[in-house]
A and B are shown apart, each in its own frame.
Chain A
């Protein structure tokens, strides 16, 4: 399996964010996208996720499921948590598990994996920023998808949470997954670096 994007150009609001960019990641490989603020890290992730249409170029996943497009085989963990404050932790997670569908895991186990199982009944409104992030990470575990697109995944996580997430990413890579993360901080695992923007 190999994710590859060629000659990607992204234009937002009349401004060219990046141009002629090549991205590639093979199964079991992590790619860290680094660069100063405004370099286009989030835009690149959103282009790969199919949420932004590139002005030029295209991204494809070779060797994946031919019936499905790249976004349908990818998890996107963005700045926003996609959690509903009115629903409990478990309701939030089981909604995404049922809605995303496919190869699903038990919600209780996923919550335990991010150390949130004690708060399963709590409305998501009462979670701290770090706990919200943990619950979003549990979403990545609840449905198996080969490609993880992560935007500043470790922001708001404490040291224990970061260590836990590095472990989860390692497991995902060991299982033949692909991780593409936009990040300022070191990911904590062996990752190829794609540097965007100027010298910053």
Chain B
């Protein structure tokens, strides 16, 4: 267990230091969200109706932005070789890396959501609903994104391929995330139904993600 704890600690430490991905993700999220009112115009009713969708898209793109470094950084400096050789099963190491990425890059997005909700004219309940759906849904984005990151690890400019691979996979998460937020804001559906499916998607990807990523890393060894 201490091996996994060491891996999580290291990845979080690197993400938080200068040049790490944690702050860049939040800044990108902020920029995308701030740009939206300029594009949509000063219609407050329209903004609050689009708000949850904008926040979800922003979070999706921001988590994708930092995800491509998940394995490439370790691949480039040779760390990945040692991780593959180690006594820790590769599946667990992948899960630990994804968890560290979510803690360093996913959680700050959720913390930033209330502030950005103000910019989009969302009231307290709506902001809370969006933050809650992001909390339940962003692990699914990270863990499915990890599969794409593992597939693209040996390619130069793999980040672009990553987006093409991962964005279609994240459609279900996006649908149920936004649906749950809208249900909490305006009804008529109950919040619980789409939210449960969102949680199920996250749990599903928590199980599938590490195995698929480890398999593609092993296959891509060179």
Taking A72-B87, A80-B76, A99-B3 as contacts, is the C-beta distance between A91 and B82 under 8 angstroms? no
Q: Does A161 contact B (CB under 8 A)?
A: no
Once bound together, how far apart are the Cα atoms of A91 and B2, in whole Å? 15
Interface of chain A residues 47 through 82 with chain B (CB within 8 A):
49-53, 68, 71-72, 74, 76, 78-82
Decide: B85 and A99 in contact? CB cutoff 8 A.
no
When the two chains form the complex, which single residue of B20, B78, B85 contacts A86, counting CB atoms closer than 8 Å?
B20
Interface residues of B in 3-43 (CB under 8 A from A): 3, 5-7, 9-10, 13-14, 17-20
Known interface pairs A49-B85, A52-B222; A81-B78 also in contact (CB < 8 Å): yes
**CB-CB under 8 A for A51 and B88, given A91-B13, A98-B2:** no
A68, A72, A91, A99: residue with the most chain B Cβ atoms closer than 10 Å: A99
Is A173 part of the binding interface, using a Cβ–Cβ cutoff of 8 Å? no
**Residue contact B14 to A82, C-beta cutoff 8 Å:** no
How many of chain B's residues touch chain A, expressed as a range?
20 to 34
Q: How far is the CA of A101 from the CA of B85 in the complex (A)?
A: 12
Fill in one digit per residue for A29-52: 1 if any B CB lies within 8 Å of its CB, else 0: 000000000000000000001111
Q: Mark A79-107, 1 if CB is under 8 A from B, else 0.
A: 11111101100010011101111100000
CA distance A12 to B221 in the complex (A): 11
A86 touching B76 by the CB < 8 A rule? no
Closest to B76 in A: A80
- Chain B residues lying within 8 Å of A50, measured Cβ to Cβ, are 84-85
B86 proximal to A (CB < 8 A):
yes
Specify the chain A residue showing the minimal Cβ separation from B19. Answer: A86
Please state if B87 and A84 are interface contacts (CB–CB under 8 Å): no
Specify which of A81, A84, A99 is in contact with B14 (CB 8 Å cutoff).
A84
- The listed residue (A52, A78, A102) touching B78 by CB distance below 8 A is A78
Q: Is the Cβ of B85 less than 8 Å from the Cβ of A76?
A: yes
Q: In angstroms, how far is the closest chain B Cβ from the Cβ of A172?
A: 18
Chain A's closest residue to B20 (CB) is: A86
Q: How far is the CA of A102 from the CA of B82 in the complex (A)?
A: 15
Q: Closest chain A residue to B80 by CB distance?
A: A82
Decide: A101 and B18 in contact? CB cutoff 8 A.
no
Which B residues are in CB contact (< 8 Å) with A91? 10, 13
CB distance from B108 to the nearest CB of A (A): 18
CA–CA, A12 and B20, complex, Å: 34
> With A and B bound together, what is the CA distance between A191 and B83 in angstroms?
29
A99 to B79, CA, bound (A): 11
Q: In the complex, what residues of A have CB within 8 A of residue B79's CB?
A: 82, 84
Residues in A whose Cβ lies below 8 Å from that of B10:
84, 87, 91, 95, 99
CB-defined contacts of A53 to chain B, threshold 8 Å: 221
Contact with B along A146-157 (1 / 0, CB 8 A): 000000000000
Which residue of chain A lies nearest to B85 when distances are taken between CB atoms in the complex?
A: A71
B81 adjacent to chain A (CB < 8 Å): yes
| Interface CB pairs A-B, < 8 A, 21 | A12-B222, A49-B81, A51-B81, A52-B221, A71-B85, A72-B87, A76-B81, A79-B78, A80-B78, A82-B77, A82-B79, A82-B81, A87-B17, A91-B10, A91-B13, A99-B83, A100-B82, A100-B86, A101-B2, A101-B86, A102-B87
A-side residues, CB < 8 A to B, are 12, 49-53, 68, 71-72, 74, 76, 78-84, 86-87, 91, 94-96, 98-102
Q: A12-B222, A98-B5 are in contact. List 5 more A-B contacts (CB 8 A).
A: A51-B221, A80-B78, A82-B77, A87-B14, A94-B6
* B residues whose Cβ falls under 8 Å from a Cβ of A: 2-3, 5-7, 9-10, 13-14, 17-20, 76-79, 81-88, 221-222
